[in-house]
């Protein structure tokens, strides 16, 4: 797997996170997210503190905002759902300015925003400091099943290919005077999406046949093993340890 595919996900740097081995960062990320999710939804102050910790981790990457902000947009659907939740949930109601909302829905919405944003900012911190090739090596080192490693590696490799084809289709539509300004454009966009899916599926078949003809056996070749010092493990797991302490403390206090 070359270094070019998925290069937009990684930003070169020389910070502590950049230097950590990929498998330690991956374990630390998963442990931190699970610990944050385990915090009770009512503990908004604790969740806010963990969000601040996640933002601090992201800022420690020293990556420019122009690279970070587009990646944070992945949270938009969850944010929209959280904004709607207080108005559609049932249960006791409470006043929120001029409107009345579900108290249960409001609590859940705030928790969803805090937990979701924390997970997104730490995942972005992992993405911008880890090369796609190193991610695949980390998955192999952690004994992740081969099918999952294959899915991750091919997704990273061909994401740029599909995105480039989507851009060419957009340019082709624009050169023919197409403009998606109303619902009348939806059929054209739907047809283009369907064509992109068919082309991607056919490309997958061609790639599979090419691999089989070259002796593909269904398993990824093993790469050189990764290693990490106790200090690197401690650094990678430090945010998760803080989140575990916070979660246990909140539960004991409650």
Instruction: Kindly state whether residues 133 and 84 are assigned to the same domain.
Output: yes
Q: How far apart are CA 8 and CA 20, in angstroms?
A: 20
Asked if residue 183 is part of any domain, the answer here is yes
pLDDT at 160 over 80: no
What is the predicted pLDDT for the residue at 148? 85
Asked if residue 208 is part of any domain, the answer here is yes
Asked if residue 243 is part of any domain, the answer here is yes
Instruction: Kindly state whether residues 186 and 158 are assigned to the same domain.
Output: yes
Instruction: Kindly state whether residues 28 and 130 are assigned to the same domain.
Output: yes
Which of the pair, 63 or 155, is modelled with greater confidence? 63
Instruction: Kindly state whether residues 233 and 112 are assigned to the same domain.
Output: yes
Q: Which residues contact 139 (CB under 8 A, 6 or more apart)?
A: 26, 148, 149, 152
pLDDT at 105 over 90: no
Instruction: Kindly state whether residues 116 and 179 are assigned to the same domain.
Output: no
Instruction: Kindly state whether residues 60 and 177 are assigned to the same domain.
Output: no
pLDDT band at 2 (very low <50, low <70, confident <90, very high): very low
DSSP 101: E
To 5 degrees, how large is the angle CA 181–CA 186–CA 187? 135
Instruction: Kindly state whether residues 207 and 232 are assigned to the same domain.
Output: no
What is the predicted pLDDT for the residue at 8? 60
Pairing of the two strands 93-96 and 99-102: antiparallel
End-to-end CA distance of the chain: give it in Å, rounded. Answer: 50
Instruction: Kindly state whether residues 22 and 122 are assigned to the same domain.
Output: yes
What average pLDDT does this structure show over 78-103? Answer: 85
Asked if residue 220 is part of any domain, the answer here is no
**pTM, to two decimals:** 0.78
Asked if residue 147 is part of any domain, the answer here is no
What average pLDDT does this structure show over 26-42? Answer: 94
Neighbours of 116 (CB within 10 A): 20
Asked if residue 92 is part of any domain, the answer here is yes
pLDDT at 1 over 50: no
Instruction: Kindly state whether residues 115 and 208 are assigned to the same domain.
Output: no
Asked if residue 118 is part of any domain, the answer here is yes
Q: Most confidently modeled of 40-54, 101-115, 138-152, 199-213?
A: 40-54
Instruction: Kindly state whether residues 29 and 133 are assigned to the same domain.
Output: yes
Instruction: Kindly state whether residues 128 and 239 are assigned to the same domain.
Output: yes
What is the predicted pLDDT for the residue at 156? 77
**Residue range(s) defining the domain that contains residue 179:** 152-213
pLDDT band at 96 (very low <50, low <70, confident <90, very high): confident
Instruction: Kindly state whether residues 36 and 108 are assigned to the same domain.
Output: yes
Q: How far apart are CA 43 and CA 31, in angstroms?
A: 19
Asked if residue 143 is part of any domain, the answer here is no
Number of domains making up the chain:
2
């Amino acid at each position: 797997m070359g270094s070019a595919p998925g290069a937009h996900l990684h930003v070169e740097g020389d910070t502590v996170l950049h230097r950590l081995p990929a498998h330690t960062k991956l374990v630390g990320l998963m442990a931190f997210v699970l610990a944050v999710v385990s915090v009770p939804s009512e503990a908004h102050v604790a969740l806010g503190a963990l969000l601040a910790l996640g933002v601090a981790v992201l800022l420690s990457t020293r990556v420019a905002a122009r690279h970070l902000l587009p990646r944070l947009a992945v949270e938009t659907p969850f944010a929209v759902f959280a904004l709607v939740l207080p108005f559609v949930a049932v249960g006791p109601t409470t006043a929120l300015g001029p409107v009345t909302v579900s108290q249960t829905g409001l609590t859940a919405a705030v928790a969803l925003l805090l937990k979701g944003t924390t997970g997104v900012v730490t995942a972005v911190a992992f993405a911008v400091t880890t090369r796609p090739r190193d991610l695949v090596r980390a998955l192999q080192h952690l004994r992740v099943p081969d099918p999952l490693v294959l899915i991750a590696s091919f997704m990273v490799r061909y994401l740029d290919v599909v995105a480039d084809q989507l851009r060419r289709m957009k340019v082709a539509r624009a050169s023919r005077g197409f403009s998606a300004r109303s619902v009348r454009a939806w059929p054209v966009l739907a047809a283009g999406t369907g064509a992109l899916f068919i082309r991607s599926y056919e490309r997958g078949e061609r790639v599979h046949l090419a691999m089989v003809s070259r002796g593909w056996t269904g398993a990824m070749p093993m790469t050189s093993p990764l290693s990490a010092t106790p200090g690197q493990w401690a650094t990678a797991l430090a945010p998760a340890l803080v989140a575990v302490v916070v979660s246990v403390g909140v539960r004991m206090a409650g």
